[in-house]
A = this chain, B = another copy of it.
Amino acid sequence: MTKPPQAGAARTSGADTRKRALNVALRLFTQQGYEGTSLRDIADELGINKASLYYYFDGKEAILRSLFEQRGDEAEDLLAWVQQQPSDPALLQVAVQRWVRSFTVEKLQGIRFLAANPLVLQSLPAGAARIGNELNAVADALASLLPDRSDENVLLLRMGLLSINAAVQAAVRTDLDDEVIVAAAARSATALVQIATQTPHIREQ
């Protein structure tokens, strides 16, 4: 913003320091947690001084918010798409697959960050982190399409939507490839939606 980027220059000390800072922050927040990461940690990895971060961000929380603004509006898009579809139970599988498959390998970063910082969403001011609410809205919209709308089935549907999260967590401390994670999540989502749409379920005893 302050200086036009030098064309073709590979200078790393340019105006993209902010971008690098966000990348570093995302990684450290994921590895050590938001609270467990100090501004000094971030600054040190950037090779700059702690105070210099305040030139790019208003404070630590501002970094966090920037991280959320950075990401796409997948949940919002999905909600909009779902709402303009005809009401049909078949929509359940399609919508859930759409969601899970939207997580390309590079987007798994976000999931991992959330897995490491589950409480951050609540601590964030008002609507800074819309993901939670939006995904909730999607879940509600889809739940209305369930043949049997029991609590248990509603929960199973939610679990289907959150299959990527579950897959990522199940793969923690493992050397499994990201492609495998996404594939397993997709299969899991299919299965969970399927049993959620089975008409009144039989409780085995």
The interface of chain A, by Cβ under 8 A from chain B, is 32-33, 35-36, 115-116, 118-119, 123, 132, 136, 151-152, 154-156, 158-159, 161-163, 165-167, 169-171, 173-174, 176-177, 180-181, 183-184, 187-188, 191-192, 194-195, 201, 203
Contacts and interface: CB of A to CB of B under 8 A. Distances in A.
Contacts of A176: 151, 154-155
Count identical subunits in the complex. 2
B188 A159 contact: yes
A194 B151 CA distance: 23
A184 B157 CA distance: 10
A195 B187 contact: yes
23 contacts: A33-B119, A36-B119, A36-B123, A136-B173, A151-B176, A151-B177, A151-B180, A152-B180, A155-B170, A155-B171, A155-B184, A158-B170, A159-B167, A159-B170, A159-B188, A161-B170, A162-B170, A166-B169, A183-B203, A187-B195, A187-B201, A188-B195, A191-B194
Contacts of A36: 35, 119, 123
